[in-house]
Amino acid sequence: MSEAVEKILGNYAGENPGVIGNLRRLMNTGTLAGTGKMVILPVDQGFEHGPARSFAPNPPAYDPGYHPKLAVESGCNGYAAPLGFIEAIAHEFAGEIPLILKVNNSDSLGDPGQPCSALTSAVDDAQRLGCSAIGFTIYPGSGFRNEMYAQIRDIIREARDVGLPSILWAYARGGDMSKQGETAVDVIAYAAQIACQLGAHVVKVKPPTEHVWLDAAKKSYENIPVGTLEERVRHVVQSAFDGRRIVIFSGGAAKDRDSVIEDIRGIKAGGGFGSIVGRNAFQRSHDDGLSLLRDIMAIYKG
Amino acid sequence: MSEAVEKILGNYAGENPGVIGNLRRLMNTGTLAGTGKMVILPVDQGFEHGPARSFAPNPPAYDPGYHPKLAVESGCNGYAAPLGFIEAIAHEFAGEIPLILKVNNSDSLGDPGQPCSALTSAVDDAQRLGCSAIGFTIYPGSGFRNEMYAQIRDIIREARDVGLPSILWAYARGGDMSKQGETAVDVIAYAAQIACQLGAHVVKVKPPTEHVWLDAAKKSYENIPVGTLEERVRHVVQSAFDGRRIVIFSGGAAKDRDSVIEDIRGIKAGGGFGSIVGRNAFQRSHDDGLSLLRDIMAIYKG
Amino acid sequence: MSEAVEKILGNYAGENPGVIGNLRRLMNTGTLAGTGKMVILPVDQGFEHGPARSFAPNPPAYDPGYHPKLAVESGCNGYAAPLGFIEAIAHEFAGEIPLILKVNNSDSLGDPGQPCSALTSAVDDAQRLGCSAIGFTIYPGSGFRNEMYAQIRDIIREARDVGLPSILWAYARGGDMSKQGETAVDVIAYAAQIACQLGAHVVKVKPPTEHVWLDAAKKSYENIPVGTLEERVRHVVQSAFDGRRIVIFSGGAAKDRDSVIEDIRGIKAGGGFGSIVGRNAFQRSHDDGLSLLRDIMAIYKG
Amino acid sequence: MSEAVEKILGNYAGENPGVIGNLRRLMNTGTLAGTGKMVILPVDQGFEHGPARSFAPNPPAYDPGYHPKLAVESGCNGYAAPLGFIEAIAHEFAGEIPLILKVNNSDSLGDPGQPCSALTSAVDDAQRLGCSAIGFTIYPGSGFRNEMYAQIRDIIREARDVGLPSILWAYARGGDMSKQGETAVDVIAYAAQIACQLGAHVVKVKPPTEHVWLDAAKKSYENIPVGTLEERVRHVVQSAFDGRRIVIFSGGAAKDRDSVIEDIRGIKAGGGFGSIVGRNAFQRSHDDGLSLLRDIMAIYKG
Amino acid sequence: MSEAVEKILGNYAGENPGVIGNLRRLMNTGTLAGTGKMVILPVDQGFEHGPARSFAPNPPAYDPGYHPKLAVESGCNGYAAPLGFIEAIAHEFAGEIPLILKVNNSDSLGDPGQPCSALTSAVDDAQRLGCSAIGFTIYPGSGFRNEMYAQIRDIIREARDVGLPSILWAYARGGDMSKQGETAVDVIAYAAQIACQLGAHVVKVKPPTEHVWLDAAKKSYENIPVGTLEERVRHVVQSAFDGRRIVIFSGGAAKDRDSVIEDIRGIKAGGGFGSIVGRNAFQRSHDDGLSLLRDIMAIYKG
């Protein structure tokens, strides 16, 4: 038993053993097993951005078998993808690495007017495919807020009933929110709070910038230090029930190795629980991606 | 058995013993136990206004464990919060203090166009977490009126079936209602009436102002004394089935101690059943908040 | 057994004994028992117009216990109200006087754009509370026509299955209908026809005026006498399946005693089955209201 | 056993015996029993156009008992009406003549913006009332197309499960379709095809005109003879699965006897399966209506 | 056992034996049995374009019995059609050739504003009629994306539960997509990816053009060869999980024989799994259509 992991699980007291068990499984898998930190490989870009934009930089990645293999090799804690990608590999990888079924998705060809992912799979797909958790994207700020929150309300309950924890991608956007607002520190902290209040077991947000978007929040931030990524991550973690919920950070668009590594150091220093690294992993060549993932894990472990 | 409490419960004759029992529990808990008055600590501001605006004034309040502890220490009748906050503490506080699960919530990042809270948890969450009541916000005046009333119609029935009373936050807004109209005495009285007609067991409204908003109602108010808070509270209580339903009043934005105390005296004098005090409690330092809550209870008890 | 009542019930042959039994109960209660006529006391104005506009003229009427008592004292056939008012008194009055649960309601603070009442209670509330019928408002002419007709389709079937008849308030409005059109004789007759076609057991309409609203209907009315209220009522009753469905008429806004009485005489003369008298009863002092209700019943009985 | 009827029923091979049995009953009832032709009396005009416009020309028709009696007397194959009219007479006429419950209806007082009938009764009403089929109106061309097609998808399956065939009124309208387009030969043929593809057992359309509405279809019609009603009916029957589905034609607005008779001859000559005659029957005096219906049947029988 | 077929089925490992069995049945039927290639005859044009535009070029095609007979004679792998066409022939052809029930359809008379087919039949219709698969059209790019994806999410699961595979027609359109964009190579590849991610077992797309529509994708296509149909088909197959999902191509509007044959050669060369040939088959005379289908199969077999 890992003390670090059990301490984190203590914050989920009251949850049923099935959910606790799967959270424990996530944290006790891979290179970071037992550290209480996690790195997850998510591959929903084929759906969200299209196949060529996602996989042409590294063509073996067109194959759904590429990713879970990379996740296992690199020692990730879990692998997250939409239904089709999981279906194509579950018979081989279920039980090998925790699979996370992303149950809603958007594409870039057209949308319903305001940000709102489509429901694309269900909790019983996750069960059938041997998954350890479900993933769901909310877009706080969207005119379809109520539809999304009500959907995740039901999905979290359904997932819990069968022992599956829920991971929320909390990405504010829509309404009159500016592009800059989407990663503003107040907005990211607020999105994390909302995800926690909705009952998320794990929350994924983007690394916040120094910007404060909501006028009503500006005064509050006068005395909150948000000058460095470390400080901003600390504030986000605090906003996620004072550190009592697991918050992990995405890597964003593929970028140079040094920037990635610098971000990870900031997240670690600020008390973040880990990262979810997609394009920065699978859009590099296999060896580069593997090596980067291992370096990231080394930082978290260090 | 408290005579005051049993007299109030007499107004709920016809309700099942489960609901009566939980109402009795609410009124027989804390400092005001047995007086027929109640003070509830509600903490949904993290969801509604964001974490920094809510908790930065008193950073320990970021911790979901802070609030129920304050509620118990100060002798509140109950503690109300959204799903995440209740889940984080239910294993420790269920049975210790009546928990009220707020099953719908809004945030300040974006909305569906007209006021309408999102469904964020359910009656079976309330049961699972050992709660004693559910809370729900309606916005009379909103273009989504029908959706909200139909939702609470179903939720009240579902809650009753498992012995849980329903507390309605009745906040008129939306449509062509002015900001001033939202707290107009006719509007507050009307919102209280609607909540009661919808089957609320406890109604929460804001303290009304002297303003009368609906043109059609102006003539009726020519002969109704609404010059003082006491008179306005009396009118609202009368509008809530002539005092046969429990009506409590919110404190509104954090303000100076004297204003809070003065409001409480007015509510007490007008026959209000109590208060729901959030920001004025948890945005003060622990000791100040505790002391203010105790002073408020002393007034109701006095 | 009353011959008059059994003759009317003969028009409902094919209905189940539960529904027939409750219709018989309605017609065999109070002063008009056995006459085949009925006067019902409805009190939904607290919800529809607000408490002060409704009850300030006669403050004891704020108390939900006032109305069923008045209904019993005056010898009404039934008492109709929204959920909250019925819940407050059902334990005392169920079995004493037929209770009619109004399962949808509107308020005057705001609305969904086109007329459409919100669902505010359900058939199983009616059962739980010992009611003898349910009431539902349709607004023919509204852009939400299809929602309302589909709702009542389901509610009527659900109510029938548990032996409860359905009373439809048929008030045309919305779309491009003028205020004058709402009470035009062709519109009232059409609304009554629609309610009957939807399966209503009892239809409530407003007393029609001489106006004809639909251009397409003007030719048809050239040879239909509609100069007096008696003639118009006769036409409406004919439009309600040639007198084979019970049609009752509302009293409208409170007005002077003589006008009320004159209306009742017209309704009686035209073959109307009775009246539903709200504001004209409870907005008068107790004794005046009681005396007016008794006078109305005397006309129907005479 | 009638050879003509059994030959038609052969086109429905694969259907369950309940549905086949009710289709057989429809075709083996009345004057045209065994001929494979049918004349149905439909009376939904009270709902669709209002009572005075529908029944004032022949006041006995206000009585719901008038119509099924006329249908029996004249030897119709069936009687179709909305819920209220069927409920009023089912106890007398079920088993006497096939009853067809029209489960959706529109009125002329207002509508949802694009053509879409409201659901007004259900398959279990049809069962409860001893009906032999259900009727449903679709409006191809309407912006609410998807709602209507999905509704009938479910209703046809529900009806089949209890042995009831489905009759579709296929009336194209809405969107940018002109009044002239609604009866254009290409539109009528298309509407018939859609109804058949949706699984209708019997399709009802209006007699088509020579007009071709869809630009994309104009070329196709250069070589299709549509100069006479006979030719157009033949094309419509061909469009309804090459004659493998029963297609019947409505009579339209009441008109002079000779025009009606001429239409019927055209329909007969073109291979139409029969007519549905409403206003031309019940808006005439009883004797005239009866005599016209008999003449129509004589043509089909001849 | 065919090695080619079993190799393809290996990509569906994890699917239940019912689904695998029906996919095997599709691939082991007709002229191309055992080759891993397939040609399907789809006839939904009666619904989508109207009867005259579809069938007037070859009038025997009005008869629903014409098409499955042609499919069997020509050696197709399956026959796909909407409910009505399948119902008319299932009793004769179920078990003879795999039937594919198209469960949603559009028509050309009017629509809901953004592309979205109506649900027109259901999985239990497919079972009742002895079908081997269901077909469903998605329109990525449409404002109704979320409705369609959520529908197919549920239908795929329902179909799988009873052993039926799902074939997705993936046709991007709607929103601000240009006509040219609908067949752009990036859009077709993206649509194929989406269909696979949604869990489609077989994907049908149009043959792509050289155009690239999404600005964000232009850079990615600088290094992807898309100059010939062969190259574009190869890219689409790669985009469909690197060849691990069956992708077939439609023929489009009826055109001259040589163009059809040339397209087929390109699809074959690029690694496409087959074709779905409708208008090019049934809008020719019987003998011409038959001969063209046989020539197509000869290419795939060659």
pLDDT tens, residue by residue, E223-277: 999 999 999 999 999 999 999 999 999 976 667 999 999 999 999 999 999 999 9
Judge: D109–C175 Cβ closer than 8 Å, yes or no. Answer: yes
pTM: 0.97
Chain D interface includes C256 (CB < 8 A): no
| Cα Dmax for chain C | 53
Q: How far apart are CA E41 and CA E84, in angstroms?
A: 16
Q: How far apart are CA A279 and CA B167, in angstroms?
A: 47
In this prediction, residue B68 carries a pLDDT of 98
Per CB-CB distance under 8 Å, the chain C contacts of B141 are 109-110
C176-231 pLDDT, tens digit each: 999 999 999 999 999 999 999 999 999 999 999 999 999 999 999 999 999 999 99
Q: Which of C289, C213, C281, C216 is nearest to C251 (CA)?
A: C281
| B and C touching (3 or more beta-carbon pairs closer than 8 Å) | yes
Give the phi and the psi of residue D170 in degrees, each rounded to 5: -110, 100
| B and D touching (3 or more beta-carbon pairs closer than 8 Å) | no
Q: What is the mean pLDDT of each run of 10 residues along chain D (302 residues)?
A: 96 97 98 98 98 98 98 98 98 98 98 97 98 98 98 98 98 97 98 98 97 97 97 98 98 82 96 96 97 97 92
Task: Report the percentage of chain C scoring pLDDT > 70.
Answer: 99
Q: How far apart are CA B31 and CA B291, in angstroms?
A: 13
Judge: C87–B199 Cβ closer than 8 Å, yes or no. Answer: yes
List C-alpha distances in Å: B85 to A6, A11, A194, B112.
20, 12, 11, 24
Judge: B118–A217 Cβ closer than 8 Å, yes or no. Answer: no
Q: How far apart are CA A295 and CA A159, in angstroms?
A: 33
List beta partners, residue D248.
D204
For the packed helices E185-197 and E229-239, what is the interaxial angle rounded to 10 degrees?
A: 30
Judge: E56–D224 Cβ closer than 8 Å, yes or no. Answer: yes
At D145, list the tokens: 């197309």
- D255 min Cα distance to partner chain C (Å): 16
Residue in chain A closest to B64 (alpha carbons) equals: A241
Chain B interface includes C111 (CB < 8 A): yes
In this prediction, residue D255 carries a pLDDT of 78
List beta partners, residue E247.
E203
Residue in chain D closest to C10 (alpha carbons) equals: D88
Residue in chain E closest to A111 (alpha carbons) equals: E143
Residues of B with a catalytic annotation lie at 171, 204
At B47, list the tokens: 């969801």
Per CB-CB distance under 8 Å, the chain C contacts of D112 are 143-146
The radius of gyration of chain D from alpha carbons, rounded to an integer in Å, stands at: 18
What average pLDDT does range B273-287 have in this prediction? 96
Per CB-CB distance under 8 Å, the chain B contacts of A190 are 50-52, 107-109
From the list C66, C139, C171, C300, the catalytic residue is C171
The 10 Å CB-count burial string (b at 16+, else e) for D242-255 is bbbbbbbbbbbeee
B36-67 pLDDT, tens digit each: 999 999 999 999 999 999 999 999 999 999 99
Give the phi and the psi of residue C143 in degrees, each rounded to 5: -65, -15
Chain A interface includes B62 (CB < 8 A): yes
Per CB-CB distance under 8 Å, the chain D contacts of E51 are 189-190, 192-193, 238-239
- C107 min Cα distance to partner chain B (Å): 8
Task: Report the percentage of chain E scoring pLDDT > 90.
Answer: 97
E11-65 pLDDT, tens digit each: 999 999 999 999 999 999 999 999 999 999 999 999 999 999 999 999 999 999 9
Q: How far apart are CA D139 and CA D120, in angstroms?
A: 16
- Which A-chain residues 138-167 have CB contacts (< 8 A) with chain B? 140-146, 148-150, 153-154, 157
User: Cα dihedral sign for E122, E127, E130, E134?
Assistant: positive
- Distance between alpha carbon A156 and the CA centroid of its chain, in Å? 16
In this prediction, residue D251 carries a pLDDT of 78
Q: Name the stretches of chain A with pLDDT < 50.
A: none
Q: How far apart are CA D222 and CA D209, in angstroms?
A: 15
List beta partners, residue C168.
C136, C203
> What percent of chain E is helix, strand and coil (3-state, nearest 5)?
50, 15, 40
- D274 min Cα distance to partner chain C (Å): 27
E187-204 pLDDT, tens digit each: 999 999 999 999 999 999
Comparing CB atoms, the residue among D64, D88, D119 nearest residue C153 is: D119
**Three-class SS state of C164:** coil
Chain D interface includes E95 (CB < 8 A): no
Q: How far apart are CA D197 and CA D195, in angstroms?
A: 5
Which of C109, C136, C139 best probes binding to B when mutated, by most B CB atoms within 10 angstroms? C109
Judge: C88–B241 Cβ closer than 8 Å, yes or no. Answer: yes
By CB neighbour count within 10 A (0-12 exposed, 13-18 middle, 19+ buried), where does A21 fall? Answer: middle
Residue in chain B closest to C121 (alpha carbons) equals: B153
Give the phi and the psi of residue A119 in degrees, each rounded to 5: -70, 125
By CB neighbour count within 10 A (0-12 exposed, 13-18 middle, 19+ buried), where does E84 fall? Answer: buried
Q: What angle do CA A167, B43, A164 make, to 5 degrees?
A: 20
Judge: B241–C63 Cβ closer than 8 Å, yes or no. Answer: yes
Q: Residue B100 region, left (φ>0) first, then alpha (ψ -120 to 50), else beta?
A: beta
Chain A interface includes E13 (CB < 8 A): yes
Q: How far apart are CA C10 and CA E175, in angstroms?
A: 59
At C54, list the tokens: 């409704």
Give the phi and the psi of residue B293 in degrees, each rounded to 5: -60, -40
Residue in chain B closest to A219 (alpha carbons) equals: B53
Residue in chain A closest to E213 (alpha carbons) equals: A109
pLDDT over threshold 90, residue B255:
no
